[in-house]
Structure 1
Amino acid sequence: MTQKINQEAKIIDAAYKLFLKKGFRSTTMDDICQSLGISKKTLYRFFSSKTELLAAAFEKLKIRMTAKVEAIVDNRYIAFPLKLKSSLSVIANYLAPINPELFEDLREHAPEVWEDLILYIQESAYERFQRLIQEGIQSGQVRPNLNVGLVVMLYASAVQSLLDPSFRAKFPSSIQKDLQIPPSDIFDQAITIIYQGILSEEARQEFDNA
């Protein structure tokens, strides 16, 4: 059983690297087999399709990211500004290797995986960042007159929209050119703008220095 789990993990990791490098549409099952030195028969024993393998790769990404963010959010020994910045950094670092072309590839050729990823971003906002904001309000480091639900919705909507190629395509080419940056930078800058606006002056200085 352990050997089977290890083999499955190796397949997922190898496929994910190829998806990042070549995109989903351009990566073939033959490419994955060749990178691992296994037969297609062996590969299909674990995954029945390329889409199933893609979904498994992103599921593994989400599990890893969630575990790290949860560990930060639940740590009562970390000051709120550092906790906020650290959790955002974790997500940005996991998104860093994913180029905009792969996101567009997912939306067009693997819509079910794309929709699942967007749902994860939304649920993550409600489950984790809502807790963080409420903690900040209780500690006096987030402005108390803010509507928590609205802040969370702005966060989730901003990230989802900026990562969606179809949304960016609606803007003039000059603006699209400015957004030709890694998803991690888009995420980091959008979130910094939002959260800089909700923090108290003291917390803002701590956030900048964290």
Structure 2
Amino acid sequence: MSRTLRDTLLEEAHQLFRREGIESQSQEQIIAALDVSPSTFREMFADKHDLVLHTTYYDIERQKREHEELFARVQNPVGRLLGLLELGIRDLREIAPSYFADLIHHYPDVWEVGQQHLATYSYPQISGILNEGVLQKMLRGDINIGLVAKIILEQLNMVLNEQIFPPSRYNVAEVFRSVYLYYIRGLCTDEGIRAAAAYFARM
């Protein structure tokens, strides 16, 4: 089958999982929702687990493309940090509360793919932005870049921890905003706050 059809199925499956969660539908229901025959599905994916894994890889590449577009538009490091925050809030507002719980409890190896992505891609990315912010005097000069980058990533795990913020009681996008917006603001110098005033105003 063509690469194009596979990409289309991955995009549709990803949107389905974000909208409905992963475990709410059987493999047969997913195949029907994707509007493909069982034989076509099996040519591309071994089973539901394989589909979930490859939608995760697909989404990681989508995020990387969005980050490249953001960084092409926005030069200042505080704006980049807040731009990443905006993208994260947008994604979380579109995701079913059960999505991350399904990944953690039923697909721990796929969840680990996401954790490895944070360690090998997001940590260096955030560290680089923080370093640029310090050099440009938009972020405080006394911050420990490695530690702050680690805290930013660990805060994500806290936000998604259903024991701390059960989705039945908390809107995960609002928790995400509340955790990161004020933390990032606290890292800024007065110059950094002025440079990113438009971002702070609309978030």
Supply the distance in 2 between the matched residues of 1:29 and 1:177 (Cα, whole angstroms). 25
Q: CA deviation at 1:179?
A: 5.7
User: Identity of paired residues, percent?
Assistant: 20
Hey, what does 1:131 align to over in structure 2? 128
Question: CA RMSD of the aligned region, Å?
Answer: 2.3
Supply the distance in 1 between the matched residues of 2:34 and 2:120 (Cα, whole angstroms). 34
Q: CA deviation at 1:204?
A: 1.6
Q: CA deviation at 1:56?
A: 1.0
Contact 2:79–2:196 (CA under 8 A) maintained in structure 1? yes
Hey, what does 1:27 align to over in structure 2? 25
The residue identity in structure 2 corresponding to 1:109 is H
Hey, what does 2:192 align to over in structure 1? 203
Hey, what does 1:65 align to over in structure 2? 63
The residue identity in structure 2 corresponding to 1:132 is I
Hey, what does 1:53 align to over in structure 2? 51
Structure 2, unmatched stretches of 5+, are: none
Supply the distance in 1 between the matched residues of 2:32 and 2:138 (Cα, whole angstroms). 53
Supply the distance in 1 between the matched residues of 2:132 and 2:104 (Cα, whole angstroms). 35
How many residues matched? 199
Alignment of 1:146-185 (within 5 A): 146-166=143-163, 168=164, 176=166, 180-182=170-172, 184-185=173-174
Supply the distance in 2 between the matched residues of 1:37 and 1:196 (Cα, whole angstroms). 46
Q: CA deviation at 1:11?
A: 1.8
Contact 1:103–1:165 (CA under 8 A) maintained in structure 2? no
* Normalised TM-score (structure 2): 0.86
Q: CA deviation at 1:48?
A: 0.5
Supply the distance in 2 between the matched residues of 1:63 and 1:116 (Cα, whole angstroms). 13
Q: CA deviation at 1:177?
A: 7.4
Hey, what does 1:87 align to over in structure 2? 84
Deviation sequence 1:44-100 (CA, Å, 0-9, x none): 111001011011111111111112213434x49623332222232223323332233
Supply the distance in 2 between the matched residues of 1:72 and 1:20 (Cα, whole angstroms). 23
* Normalised TM-score (structure 1): 0.84
Q: CA deviation at 1:30?
A: 1.5
Q: CA deviation at 1:152?
A: 0.6
